[in-house]
């Protein structure tokens, strides 16, 4: 099954201002975020990406633009299911103010019970479920179109990526706040028929090690099987 590269958008004006942006319109990258997006395109240059999927929000689309400018052949798809959590009445408020709300403790310590107040407010359980469903649907689609060794990219948001990483690790959602994802960091999950493998978490460094190695040739010249879904006992050797 494919490997998905989850990219958190670059630093936004809301990040700089300490505001919970949610689905607020017009939240753009700041100068640092634009520089991060340019650097991301260079970091991804060697990877044979099959497709790019984006949250519909502006800060994700701006993060992807330098990559798409340099690789116009990449198909871009938009999926609301990897969009930001719907924070309801919390949207647009200062994080310093929200930290005084009783719900803040629930979000931090018992996330599976957290439901954001107001019209359109979403539960963190619902947020995780829609994001996991989205990845599984895209895994099936990308594998059908590009094969089991395909790499594809999803640009999304911090809580979404943390929830997806928790699912891949088999962690209860109540523990997902233990995971960190900085702006424009990369989290990578390789899915197999039996379980996922978390290959990178919040990575801001070199990504060339993600290039799929060539499959071995069989005696009749056909490609051998895909990488096994067993973990390497003792740890990865660091070689293809």
pTM to 2 decimals?
Answer: 0.89
Class at the top of the CATH hierarchy for domain 3-206: alpha beta
Torsion sign, CA atoms 91, 96, 100, 104: positive
Per-residue pLDDT for 214 more than 80?
no
Given a cut of 80, whether residue 192 has pLDDT beyond it is yes
Mean pLDDT rounded to a whole number for the chain? 91
pLDDT, tens digit (0-9, with 9 covering 90-100), for 51-83: 999 999 999 999 999 999 999 999 999 999 999
Burial tier of 117 (Cβ tally within 10 Å: 0-12, 13-18, 19+): exposed
- pLDDT at residue 239 greater than cutoff 70: no
Say what the pLDDT of residue 217 is: 59
pLDDT recorded at residue 158:
96
């Amino acid at each position: 099954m494919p490997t998905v590269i989850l990219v958190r958008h670059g630093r936004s004006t809301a990040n700089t201002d300490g505001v919970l942006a949610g689905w607020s319109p017009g939240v753009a990258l700041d100068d640092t975020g634009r520089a991060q997006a340019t650097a991301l395109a260079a970091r991804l240059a060697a990877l044979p990406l099959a497709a790019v999927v984006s949250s519909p929000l502006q800060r994700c689309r701006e993060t992807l633009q330098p990559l798409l400018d340099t690789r116009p052949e990449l198909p871009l798809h938009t999926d609301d299911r990897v969009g930001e959590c719907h924070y309801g009445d919390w949207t647009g408020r200062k994080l310093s103010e929200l930290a005084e709300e009783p719900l803040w403790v629930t979000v931090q310590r018992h996330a599976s019970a957290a439901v954001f107040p107001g019209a359109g407010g979403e539960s963190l359980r619902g947020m995780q479920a829609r994001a996991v469903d989205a990845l599984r649907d895209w895994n099936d689609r990308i594998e059908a179109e590009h094969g089991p060794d395909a790499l594809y990219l999803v640009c999304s948001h911090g809580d979404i990526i943390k929830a997806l990483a928790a699912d891949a690790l088999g962690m209860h959602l109540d523990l997902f706040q233990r995971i960190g994802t900085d702006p424009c960091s990369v989290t990578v999950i390789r899915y197999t028929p039996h379980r996922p493998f978390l290959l990178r978490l919040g990575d801001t460094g070199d990504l060339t090690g993600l290039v799929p190695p060539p499959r071995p040739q069989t005696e009749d010249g056909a490609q051998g099987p895909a990488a096994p879904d067993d973990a390497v006992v003792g740890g990865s050797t660091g070689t293809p």
